[in-house]
Structure 1
Amino acid sequence: MLSFTRGSFSDRLFFHHHSHLRALLQYRSTQRSLSVVGLLPLSIVMSGTRSINDMLMQAARSKKGAVAAGRPPASHIAVEKGKTEKKKEQKVSAPHEKMKESGERESGRKDKSPSTLEKSAVAKINEPCEKDNGTAVQNGIEAPMEIDSTREDKENGTIEEQKDSDMGLEEAKLPDSPDIPKISEKISLPPVGVSEVPSITECVSNLTKRQLEFDPKAAAFWKKGEHVPFAFLAHAFDMISCESGRIAMTDILTNVFRTIIFTTPEDLLPTVYLTANKVAPPHHGVELGIGDATIIKTIGETFGKSDAQVKSQLKALGDLGLVAKACRVNQRLMRKPLALTCAKVLKTFKEIAKETGKNSQENRRNKIKSLLVAAMDCEPLFIVRLAQGNLRIGLAEQTVLVALAHAAVLTEKPPVAAAQLPGRLEQAAQIIKQVYSNLPDFDQIVPALLRVGIQDLSEVCHFTPGVPVGPMLAKATKSISDILDKFQDIEFTCEYKYDGERAQVHYMDNGSVEIYSRNAECTTGKFPDVAGAMTRYKKDDVKSFVLDCEIVAYDREADHILPFQILSTRARKGVTLSSIKVQVCVFAFDLLYLNGKELLQEPLRVRREYLYQSFVEVPKEFSFAKAITSTDLEEIQAFLQDAVNHSCEGLIIKTLDKEATYEPAKRSNNWLKLKKDYMDSVGDSFDLVPIGAFHGRGKRTGVYGAFLLACYDEDTEEYQSICKIGTGFSEAVLEERSASLRANVIPTPKVQGRKCCGCFVSFLFL
């Protein structure tokens, strides 16, 4: 360890190894405190068994001043600096006692103005060394140690940054001996700022190259087999955030995946999850549960700031990730922490998601702090954004899938011929999209991709009970005549569109039942009555199935459907049979899987026949969706009116035979929805989010009288304001909404001064 301490008469420099001499000289070149050309007109005090002559002779024998292998005997050289006139060259052969006396005499001079080193405190080199020989080993190559400067503190070994001084050190006068060279003439130091290995920035800059020009070896700054550094992914995120084109984003992400497949294939899975901003498949129900308040407190605890200071920075920067990054830049470290890896980051987030109980919030903060403490450069920015569940770099899930497919093709052995490559890349993208729509689970897809390749992926990854697929959705249409025009030569069916909650019921071979929402959220705990009754609804020969249906609130005494608002009063989870107050009825309209057979590629007519043959209707509990098959305009008009009279939203029109397969997670032209509202006014309904509120006046004083509504733009990852709404609310609804939204008020708009609907927004909600 190299340390500088302030002595009573002079500065002392302690070198535990002569490699520190090289580090010190290089340190001078950047800090301008020591001269590279010589050590000083010094009085040398020797202690230990190794002399300066031995060190210089050994350094001269090694090429370019390289550090000799092994650790020297424990010793140190104390060099006392005195201000003396230049003297003639003398041999340094006197015993170290005489040298000490000489130094003491010099230190007693009347002129005791502080030297450059006397103006400094203590410098400390404490970098991890692979060989423990005084040099830091990076990627197997020795590199000079860094000296971290902070504030003056003699007890903890930190130093205040040294300032320039005119009192530099003069060239040392060494004996004229062929065996003992002058430091300035014989010891060759590597140029300052020039490294034998590329920097992280140089490596990751290769990621912007086009896919065919990219070399994975050039982008990796870690060894094969080592865990992928999180810094690699963070820099890639930073580069993607600077791109606006989807092709450029895909190229960067493809190159990221190719580099990982080349170096550390086992880290591809955690990297994909982090890139997709997930910690587990959606149906696992893993939620981080980290709010902005928790992150603000964590940033403050990590970087020694109060919550008020963090909030002030948040107000200025508008992003907690940027706040964390700024705090890290302004903080000095005693020693460089161990580098984060993608695997470590994902593992920590999974641990955070599992935290429950009394101390769960504190434990979550501590785990986030452990990441922030080790995060460097742009890593804190994306640690925080991952914790928030929003990377804000414009990276869509479909882009992740395409990049993964391209990476798989471009790493195939033997390589794909250039003439065939464009077609193969397009084919691979379609394969992985189809596989993911049928099996949205990276835990199964990524290992299979590495094992069998992209061409055979669909053979090993397919739809199975227990992993919900995204529901097939319908596009809106404005009139029955539009339907007839659209399906002129195609037979179609019309079904009631029920006003309830879309559900996908999975019945496994072992008899277990899971219910999932349209967002793949497990809702079995919300509908235990439905899960428990499925055995009664199915026929005895049915061993496994996946049912697509709508669960609606139902008044069994009056025998009619209740509004969706009634159903929404059910708790989201933990519902017991004894606590159920709102009864439900299941309306089944599609069957996706039956007794080990996947039915997604079967036409609707076939799927419907399987449905009718496999289940039994139970009045007021389980029914098939009411449907007709007709091309008569008046008959369809009457059926629509009948649906509205039975408390339904309208009709769903579906093709029966042609282009009638089930398309998971897709809004298809082969399914159309028709509502009475569509025919009279707007062509579709909108699910909007309140982002602002306006104080009520008159009878609405004390509550919010109107709301600013917005929809989420997936491309920009922002909420875009749509309209202001203030009619149709009862006093009770306004009081309820106002009470629930007040907890989410933020002090200032996200975008200062933005005008919406001709007036300034008073409040915005997170």
Structure 2
Amino acid sequence: MDITSNYFTSKQFNASKLSQSYYYHHTTSQTTSSSSPPFLHFAIALSQVTSTTKRLLKEQILTNILLVYLYYDRRKRNQDCCSCPTTTTVITSLEKNSMSSTTTLHATLLAGNVATHGYTLNIGFASISSSLCTSLQCSKTLLRQKIQKKGEMGDAAASIWSGSGVGSSGGTQSRIDGWGIQKKKRKCLEMRDMIDVISCINDMNQSNGDKGVEKRKKDAMSKIFSVVHHPDELRFAVKIFCNNMRTGATLVTVMRCLAAAHVLHKYNRINADMEEEEEEEVVIINENNNNNTYYFKVRPKKSNQNNRDCKSKIKQDIIHAQETFRSVYARHNDLKSCVVALVLGGMEGLLSACDVKVGVPVQPLLAAPSRSVEEVVLHYAENIPSSFAAVTSSSSSCGKGDDKGDNEENTVENRCITATNNTSENDASDDIPLLTAEYKYDGQRAQIHYQRIPSADDGGDDAQKEDMNILFFSRNLDNVTVKFTALVEWMKSRLQKLEMIRSFILDAEIVAVKRCCHQTNNGQGCSSSNAETILLPFQVLSTMKRSAVAAADELDMKRSSRNDDDDIELCIFAFDIIYLDGKALVEHVLIDRRKLLYQALSPIVQPGYFEFANSIDIVLNPTTDDLNSNSEAILMLESYLTKSIGPGRCEGVMLKSLYSKYKSSDTREKSGGFGGWRKLKKDYVDTIADSIDVVPIGAWRGNGRKNKWFSPFLLAVYDPDSGDFQSLCRCMSGFSDDFYKEKSIFYSNRLIETKSSVVSTNENPTFWFDPCEVWEIRGADLTISPVHHAGRGQMMGSAGEGISLRFPRFVRLRDDKAPEDATTGRQIIELFHSQSQRQNVMK
């Protein structure tokens, strides 16, 4: 049965073999006795995923191969085993098309071993190419030429391997390949082999100063390259070592496929237990010796009379499993833990084992752009829940029950009840505010994790001592603690005496500031009453050197003898709390989360160091299209917006429902409804409401004085469904000469000969780039384009056409974002429709 078929099943996986047209033959007995499946199955599945641009077909292939691995895991896993290396390896090798430090953690799991730290490869281009040249017996010149032609080292290596004549004759007989090297019958390259080598290389990276590390890395890779039996094995082995999978299988796609495979596997197992029939055999064959079409074949399964009745139930279960898995991963961003919990405990185990946890970043809530004050007020007013009384009564969802006595434990629930009751008494006679507006600070988004842990010292007076662990995570969930060591030490000094707070996770913005102290009449130094914080733009923060950040402040906070106007400092502006003292708050409404934030951390507030985000609450009246009923709210918001961009020195304001939960899974594409966040920037009067984050994918040679540089650049947005970068526009405005020079050198080292398989455009630039960084741009307006592919295929009545941006202008480099964090094609479509609606109103 074809692996791309909807009817693919894998009741058992116990054999794999290639037809006589291929070099290697793997017997049933070898596979059955092995504790790990062949790497070839993984490689062939990825090859088919890479070769298609159809999203549903990609998902079908991935679901089917994962179904095979799930069954293999269940069959091979011992009762004492606490992890599932096969499935985890497959899943995490695909996520984000990369083997980054986080994903390598999961990809290097050994049988029964649950790792607790990230793994890194840190393998240089020269080391990989040297190992390849040794294994393939080819020259570096040939490899370099192939890389220029194919665009990626993995494809280049597979091309050389195929051209050498390996695999052109069948069987397991010894033969001479195109390079005069005798090929003998060898063992199958297994998934365990790849895991072992990756783990070994990770251990080598821990040996600081060892001069023999690079040689040992080459030897380890050569062990893999020397036992490959198929070009796809070599292709994806190299891609793993290069940290560049580029299969088009996004993390969201992989999670959907795993959830679907889990449900199908569960139903297959139930049917197998009921029928008690013989185990099936799964084989890989090539029915046509002249092409590379592969099929995963299984013996047809006996028909079950209940199959038709179960079909609808299975579909519902798959949808529920996909939504649940993505929601859980949003709050527990550790894919390894989620995979293990799902495979071993099902959905119940996933929900119970993978909740918000200190040290594991939570996917941040993001905001959708708005163009005007009227638009954002109308948006929230139209989406006010009809039964608002029920919403307000549930605002105390973070705690319910009777009043607690004085001796009751000071839990999160009790504190929340007290805060809510106090506020309800004060606001009993007033209109209830539904909306809050906050300053949108021009800084770096940060998620701050804090936990008190027992000290390593034992005995004596130190027995009661505790250490404090503080971590900073960026917007794209990278650990950036090392960049903010001064803030870490400052927080420790302030939290030292706040013993009642055991742990928390904050959502905050880190902003570059100038701290100014005005001397009082009595000559006293700086205090909260006479301190002033001047906000600085993001460019100041982004250009600060790590050494400057680390040496920001002395811990004694004595400022009287320093000239603060000459110092660039950092300040934390906290606006949300999503975890407090062992309890997750993501299901609690914002009004309660904010009260808990103020109650818990007010003691450490100090201007210029740690502050709460400036905010006001706004009363709204339900309406459909009449803004007169909310004229007061509009005036209040307009005044607040003006204040934020004037004296406040901010980008604008953020709008949030006070009765919205922290639903991270709805962030990137689903920002509508009453619960979504909106942002209103100072340039909201422009046709394009928000800046656009794009990825350079190509360029032309400049003319005139720019003939030594790349100009213009071809820029693209990201499609998370297909994993493609879709072209949006050419850009040649907003660049300085220094920037032109810097980026021309930068991209000269990242040229590829042909368009990448993950790039979608009708443009044909002189130079193609490997997508690797994000730029922020602005433009005049959006228009339908037959050339550019942004949002292609997702608009009604515009099949084959995309959207382009007119008069684009470069704003800044976004080094805090990965290419996959760029603006999506769907967001471009939303901007286009919003622009069209506004133009119709103006007419």
Q: TM-score, normalised by structure 1?
A: 0.66
CA distance in 1, matches of 2:735, 2:157: 42
1:477 aligned partner, one-letter code? S
Give the C-alpha shift of residue 303 in structure 1.
0.9
- In structure 2, the partner of 1:389 is 243
- In structure 1, the partner of 2:826 is none
Give the C-alpha shift of residue 223 in structure 1.
1.2
Query: CA distance change for structure 1 residues 610 and 693 in 2, over 3 Å: closer, same or farther?
Result: same
1:371 lines up with 2:224 in the alignment? yes
3-state DSSP of counterpart to 2:507 = strand
- In structure 2, the partner of 1:326 is 159
3-state DSSP of counterpart to 1:629 = strand
1:210 aligned partner, one-letter code? N
2:749 aligned partner, one-letter code? N
3-state DSSP of counterpart to 1:568 = helix
- In structure 1, the partner of 2:650 is 648
- In structure 2, the partner of 1:673 is 679
CA distance in 1, matches of 2:88, 2:220: 21
Aligned partner (choices 312, 317, 328) of residue 424 of structure 1: 317
- In structure 2, the partner of 1:252 is 64
1:310 lines up with 2:131 in the alignment? no
1:548 lines up with 2:507 in the alignment? yes
Compare 565-574 and 628-637 and name the one that shifted more.
565-574
- In structure 2, the partner of 1:232 is 41
Query: CA distance change for structure 1 residues 404 and 758 in 2, over 3 Å: closer, same or farther?
Result: closer
Please tell me whether the aligned partners of residues 492 and 653 of structure 1 are also in contact (alpha carbons under 8 angstroms): yes
CA distance in 2, matches of 1:751, 1:548: 37
Q: Deviations over 1:238-290 (max 9, x none)?
A: 23334424252344234233332343343332232224354663695644334
Q: Deviations over 1:441-484 (max 9, x none)?
A: 23322332333222332012211101111111111122222212
- In structure 2, the partner of 1:481 is 374
Give the C-alpha shift of residue 614 in structure 1.
1.0
1:639 lines up with 2:640 in the alignment? yes
CA distance in 2, matches of 1:406, 1:351: 33
Aligned partner (choices 340, 365, 368) of residue 189 of structure 2: 340
- In structure 2, the partner of 1:406 is 260
3-state DSSP of counterpart to 1:688 = strand
Give the C-alpha shift of residue 600 in structure 1.
0.6
3-state DSSP of counterpart to 2:654 = strand
CA distance in 2, matches of 1:253, 1:313: 30
1:45-124 equivalence runs, <5 A: none
1:235 aligned partner, one-letter code? I
- In structure 2, the partner of 1:38 is none
Please tell me whether the aligned partners of residues 372 and 380 of structure 1 are also in contact (alpha carbons under 8 angstroms): yes
Give the C-alpha shift of residue 582 in structure 1.
4.2
Q: Point out which structure has higher relative CO (alpha carbons under 8 A, 6+ apart).
A: 2
Query: CA distance change for structure 1 residues 553 and 354 in 2, over 3 Å: closer, same or farther?
Result: farther
Q: Deviations over 1:25-79 (max 9, x none)?
A: xxxxxxxxxxxxxxxxxxxxxxxxxxxxxxxxxxxxxxxxxxxxxxxxxxxxxxx
Q: Deviations over 1:341-369 (max 9, x none)?
A: 21321332244345444454444333322
Q: Deviations over 1:152-209 (max 9, x none)?
A: xxxxxxxxxxxxxxxxxxxxxxxxxxxxxxxxxxxxxxxxxxxxxxxxxxxxx55344
Structure 1 residues without counterparts, runs of 5 or longer: 1-204
- In structure 1, the partner of 2:129 is 296
CA distance in 2, matches of 1:242, 1:218: 27
Give the C-alpha shift of residue 700 in structure 1.
5.5
Aligned partner (choices 91, 95, 102) of residue 272 of structure 1: 91
2:247 aligned partner, one-letter code? I
Please tell me whether the aligned partners of residues 486 and 553 of structure 2 are also in contact (alpha carbons under 8 angstroms): no
3-state DSSP of counterpart to 1:526 = helix
1:530 aligned partner, one-letter code? L
Aligned partner (choices 523, 526, 533) of residue 559 of structure 1: 533
Give the C-alpha shift of residue 587 in structure 1.
0.7
- In structure 1, the partner of 2:729 is 723
Please tell me whether the aligned partners of residues 228 and 264 of structure 1 are also in contact (alpha carbons under 8 angstroms): no
1:271 aligned partner, one-letter code? V
Query: CA distance change for structure 1 residues 733 and 393 in 2, over 3 Å: closer, same or farther?
Result: closer
3-state DSSP of counterpart to 2:348 = coil
Give the C-alpha shift of residue 495 in structure 1.
1.0
Give the C-alpha shift of residue 526 in structure 1.
0.7
- In structure 2, the partner of 1:588 is 574
Give the C-alpha shift of residue 572 in structure 1.
6.1
Mark the structure with the bigger radius of gyration.
1
Q: TM-score, normalised by structure 2?
A: 0.61
Aligned partner (choices 701, 717, 722) of residue 711 of structure 1: 717
Please tell me whether the aligned partners of residues 537 and 615 of structure 1 are also in contact (alpha carbons under 8 angstroms): no
- In structure 2, the partner of 1:455 is 348
- In structure 2, the partner of 1:626 is 614
CA distance in 2, matches of 1:709, 1:335: 49
3-state DSSP of counterpart to 2:492 = helix
Please tell me whether the aligned partners of residues 486 and 551 of structure 2 are also in contact (alpha carbons under 8 angstroms): yes
3-state DSSP of counterpart to 1:323 = helix
1:679-758 equivalence runs, <5 A: 679-693=685-699, 706-738=712-744, 741=746, 744-746=749-751, 748=753, 750=755
Query: CA distance change for structure 1 residues 451 and 759 in 2, over 3 Å: closer, same or farther?
Result: closer
Q: Deviations over 1:70-98 (max 9, x none)?
A: xxxxxxxxxxxxxxxxxxxxxxxxxxxxx
Query: CA distance change for structure 1 residues 733 and 285 in 2, over 3 Å: closer, same or farther?
Result: farther
CA distance in 2, matches of 1:428, 1:755: 31
Compare 285-294 and 527-536 and name the one that shifted more.
285-294
How much identity, in percent, do the aligned residues show?
Answer: 28
CA distance in 2, matches of 1:432, 1:763: 37
1:182-193 equivalence runs, <5 A: none
Please tell me whether the aligned partners of residues 394 and 716 of structure 1 are also in contact (alpha carbons under 8 angstroms): yes
3-state DSSP of counterpart to 2:226 = helix
Please tell me whether the aligned partners of residues 249 and 722 of structure 2 are also in contact (alpha carbons under 8 angstroms): no
Please tell me whether the aligned partners of residues 326 and 665 of structure 2 are also in contact (alpha carbons under 8 angstroms): no
1:676 aligned partner, one-letter code? K
Give the C-alpha shift of residue 654 in structure 1.
0.8
2:89 aligned partner, one-letter code? P
3-state DSSP of counterpart to 2:576 = strand
Please tell me whether the aligned partners of residues 711 and 720 of structure 1 are also in contact (alpha carbons under 8 angstroms): yes
Give the C-alpha shift of residue 536 in structure 1.
4.6
Give the C-alpha shift of residue 608 in structure 1.
0.6
Please tell me whether the aligned partners of residues 507 and 575 of structure 2 are also in contact (alpha carbons under 8 angstroms): yes
- In structure 2, the partner of 1:119 is none
CA distance in 2, matches of 1:476, 1:450: 39
Please provide the CA RMSD for this pair: 3.3
Please tell me whether the aligned partners of residues 492 and 629 of structure 1 are also in contact (alpha carbons under 8 angstroms): yes
CA distance in 1, matches of 2:370, 2:451: 37
- In structure 1, the partner of 2:472 is 515
Aligned partner (choices 102, 105, 121) of residue 281 of structure 1: 102
Aligned partner (choices 582, 585, 608) of residue 594 of structure 2: 608
CA distance in 2, matches of 1:702, 1:718: 30
CA distance in 2, matches of 1:721, 1:761: 15
Query: CA distance change for structure 1 residues 393 and 708 in 2, over 3 Å: closer, same or farther?
Result: closer
3-state DSSP of counterpart to 1:589 = strand
Q: Deviations over 1:631-677 (max 9, x none)?
A: 511221121122222332211111111x4334257233311111123
Give the C-alpha shift of residue 745 in structure 1.
5.0
CA distance in 2, matches of 1:344, 1:525: 34
- In structure 2, the partner of 1:569 is 543
1:255 aligned partner, one-letter code? L
